[in-house]
Amino acid sequence: MRYLMILKAEQPATEPPAGLMEAIMKLGGDAVAAGALLDTAGLAPSAAGARVSLAEGLITAVDGPFTEAKETISYALYEVRSKEEAVEWASRFLVLHRDFWPEWTGEAEVLAVL
C-alpha cells in the first residue's frame, strides 16, 4: 500500500547541522534499497503558493503565506506493507532531526493513498 508522509515544521533560528543532510541521504538510500521509498522532494514556502477554496458556490484563490505556524516543507511517498511500516519510516526521519538538530520542531502526517 502507498503512504504519503507530509512533513511540517517551524523554521528554527539556527541552520541545519552539516551531519543532518548526510544522515537524511543515508536514510533515503536505505528506504530506496528496501523498496519502500518511491519519491521525495522539498516544497517551497507557503509565501510562494496559493490556496484555492470553494465555499457557497464561489471559488477563490488566495496567495500565501498562510497563517499556520508550521509550514509544509517536504513530502515522501512510500510503498510499504502496512501503516505501521510507514509510521516507522517517518519516525526514523524525525529521530534524525531530534538527534542532529535538537531545537527543530516538526511533525510528519502519514496518510494512506487510495
Tens of pLDDT, residues 34-63: 999 999 999 998 899 999 999 999 999 999
Residues 3 and 86: beta-carbon distance below 8 Å: yes
Q: What average pLDDT does the structure give for the chain?
A: 94
Confidence band, pLDDT 50/70/90 cuts, at residue 78: very high
Instruction: Please compute the mean of the pLDDT values over residues 57-74 and round it to a whole number.
Output: 90
pLDDT score at 11: 77
Query: Can you tell me the distance from the alpha carbon of 3 to that of 82, in angstroms, rounded to the nearest whole number?
Result: 9
Residue 16 above 80 pLDDT? yes
pTM, two decimals, is: 0.88
> Which domains does the chain possess?
2-11+19-112 (3.30.70.1060)
- The pLDDT score that the predictor gives to residue 12 is 78
In the structure grid, which three cell numbers stand for residue 8, read together? 511540517
